[in-house]
Amino acid sequence: MFLARVEGSVVATKKDASMSGRKLLILRPQLVDDRDPTRFRPGVNTIVAVDSVGAGQGELVIFCQGSSARLAPNLKEAPVDAVIIGIVDSVDVLGRQIYSARSA
């Protein structure tokens, strides 16, 4: 599992039938900064993921990739490589809260 920020959405009117009605979001992975573990640093890549929890723009989410993504409900037969499986409430690193959805 990985952390990411929702940066946008993707609309594809023509797609595999098993993807019909699925919300696609653009994610930017968030990494705990090596130099300052009290904050995140954004990853360099972006990922398109299926939203299974109702996430929105700007939220910090948990996502999984690969075969684990297809274990999410109703995705076993879908050609999915990444799926959002949770919306983050808070993150603690080294005993210190570095993210809270309440203050985001």
Overall average pLDDT of the 44-48 stretch: 96
Give 94's DSSP letter.
T
Could you tell me if 2 and 29 are in contact, meaning their C-beta atoms sit under 8 angstroms apart? yes
Domain assignments of the chain as residue spans, ordered by start = 2-11+20-100
**pLDDT attached to residue 97:** 94
Give the model's pLDDT for residue 42: 96
Give this prediction's pTM: 0.91
Position 103 scores a pLDDT of 86
Tokens representing residue 89 in the block: 């409430």
Which CATH homologous superfamily contains domain 2-11+20-100? Answer: EutN/Ccml (2.40.50.220)
46 CB-contact burial (10 Å; exposed 0-12 / middle 13-18 / buried 19+) = middle
Query: Which tens digit of pLDDT belongs to each residue from 69-104?
Result: 877 777 788 888 999 999 999 999 999 999 999 987
pLDDT band for position 25 (cuts 50, 70, 90) = very high
Taking the CA atoms of residue 74, residue 64, residue 25 and residue 34 in that order, the dihedral angle to the nearest 10 degrees is 170
Q: Are the C-beta atoms of 8 and 57 separated by less than 8 Å? A: yes
pLDDT at 5: 98
